[in-house]
């Protein structure tokens, strides 16, 4: 069977594992993403099967004859380079960025260092390692970043463990909450303005940015609950931004994606500062959500790509950092 929308012969894709669930704090969301992907791939005629690394050894993928893997895992042990490294060793091509890009993008502090070195705009920050979380250190952070500010775990996603701090007295509690999810704590300048997100498909010079989505959350609370389990958040796609602004965001996002060495797909989150309309990069998601509320499918749809075609396109881009050598080399 050939998928007419993309001219992809699904037979050549072989037996496909949709990796979902896993052991991270985002397991519940990953199961929703994976279920959607699995259904879409099967409806396109792909020989796709659910595979939960929390219940099966990754080595089973090789033993059971899987030809490629669609990574629908979110968070740790899914988006951080560890599963990618295991699949490299198994020689099973997988979706999304490779080991290094995944590991860097999962760590918001490392991402900021790379982006800052490349001159890309990202909010100012203070990194609190475990030995710098004493009360006397924590209380000085607002002096440097101003108030309000954001406190979050650098290696979690889906707004888990994030606090908007409005006063000095809230700092200690916010750092303690973040430290439950990650020993390191990231304190970040708060950018007052509009939140937007922009997906990317492809690799290198062929990568292209999809339409920007503007996110309008109740009272600005774009948190875990509102992201996945309510319909209170409004998503505007087309964004309604001036064309020049949309193009500039897409340019910055493409540069941010290429700078990290991403491939396959990804989604950057940004804030547009209200005072001067300057965009600031917050993070790069290397295994974005694919649930009914998710943003990459919404943006793809606005550019004429159906959910099924999107899943198939991402799957067809599955690759290895180091392609397997021909036998006998």
User: Which tens digits make up the pLDDT trace of 257-307?
Assistant: 999 999 999 999 999 999 999 999 999 999 999 987 799 999 999 999 999
| Residue-range domain boundaries for the chain | 2-96, 104-121+192-313, 125-189
pLDDT-derived band at 3 (thresholds 50, 70, 90) equals low
Per-residue pLDDT at 1: 44
Closest among 203, 296, 313, 201 to 258, alpha carbons compared: 203
Task: Give the separation between CA 236 and CA 88, rounded to whole angstroms.
Answer: 38
Lowest average pLDDT, out of 103-112, 123-132, 228-237, 310-319, goes to 228-237
* Averaged pLDDT, 177-199: 96
Q: Would you identify the CATH topology of the domain 125-189?
A: Dna Ligase; domain 1 (3.30.1490)
Query: What mean pLDDT do residues 68-74 have?
Result: 97
Contacts of residue 230, Cβ cutoff 8 Å, sequence gap at least 6: none
Percent residues over pLDDT 70 in the chain: 92
How many degrees, rounded to 5, is the angle at CA 111 between CA 106 and CA 116? 170
CATH 3.30.2010.10 corresponds to the domain 104-121+192-313: no
Mean pLDDT of 75-90: 95
What average pLDDT does range 128-132 have in this prediction?
97
Q: 2-96, which class in CATH?
A: alpha beta
C-alpha 218: how far from chain center: 22
**Class of residue 264 by CB neighbours under 10 A (exposed 0-12, middle 13-18, buried 19+):** buried
Q: Which helix (H) or strand (E) holds 79?
A: none
Query: Alpha carbon of 99 to those of 1, 16, 272, 291: distances in Å?
Result: 32, 20, 30, 24
Q: Please provide the distance, in angstroms rounded to a whole number, between the alpha carbons at the two ends of the chain.
A: 34
Enumerate the active-site residues: 26, 158, 228, 267, 269, 283, 285, 289
- pLDDT tier at 218, thresholds 50, 70, 90: confident
Average the pLDDT over 149-170 and give the result: 91
261 close to 98: Cβ distance less than 8 angstroms? yes
- Low-confidence winner among 19-23, 60-64, 158-162, 163-167 (lowest mean pLDDT): 158-162
**Which strands form 125-128's sheet, in the order they lie side by side?**
125-128, 185-189, 149-152, 163-165
pLDDT tens-digit readout, 30-64: 999 999 999 999 999 999 999 999 999 999 999 99
pLDDT at 324 over 60: yes
Measuring CA to CA, which residue among 206, 232, 203 is closest to residue 96? 203
């Amino acid at each position: 069977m050939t998928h007419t929308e993309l001219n992809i012969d699904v037979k050549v894709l072989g037996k496909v594992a949709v990796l979902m669930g896993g052991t991270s704090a985002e397991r519940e969301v990953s199961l929703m993403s994976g279920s959607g992907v699995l259904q879409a791939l099967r409806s396109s005629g792909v020989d796709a099967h659910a595979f939960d690394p929390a219940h099966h050894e990754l080595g089973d993928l090789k033993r059971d004859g899987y030809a490629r893997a669609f990574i629908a895992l979110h968070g740790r042990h899914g988006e951080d380079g560890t599963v990618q490294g295991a699949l490299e060793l198994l020689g099973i091509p997988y979706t999304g960025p490779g080991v290094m890009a995944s590991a860097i993008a999962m760590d918001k502090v490392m991402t900021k260092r790379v982006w800052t070195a490349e001159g890309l705009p990202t909010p100012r920050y203070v990194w609190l390692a475990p030995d710098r979380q004493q009360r006397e250190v924590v209380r000085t952070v607002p002096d440097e970043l101003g108030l309000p500010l954001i406190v979050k775990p650098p290696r979690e996603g889906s707004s888990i463990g994030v606090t908007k701090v409005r006063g000095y007295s809230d700092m200690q509690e916010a750092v303690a909450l973040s430290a439950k999810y990650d020993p390191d704590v990231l304190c970040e300048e708060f950018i007052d303005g509009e939140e937007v997100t922009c997906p990317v498909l492809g690799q290198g010079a062929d990568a292209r940015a999809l339409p920007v989505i503007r996110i309008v959350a109740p009272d600005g609370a774009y948190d875990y609950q509102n992201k996945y389990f309510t319909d209170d958040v409004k998503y505007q796609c087309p964004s309604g931004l001036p064309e020049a602004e949309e193009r500039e965001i897409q340019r910055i996002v493409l540069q941010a994606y290429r700078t990290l060495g991403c491939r396959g797909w990804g989604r950057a989150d940004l804030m547009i500062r209200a005072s001067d309309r300057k965009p600031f990069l917050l993070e790069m998601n290397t295994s974005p959500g694919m649930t009914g509320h998710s943003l990459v499918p919404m943006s793809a749809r606005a550019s004429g790509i159906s959910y099924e075609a999107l899943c198939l396109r991402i799957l067809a881009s599955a690759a290895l950092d180091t392609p397997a050598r021909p036998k006998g080399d």
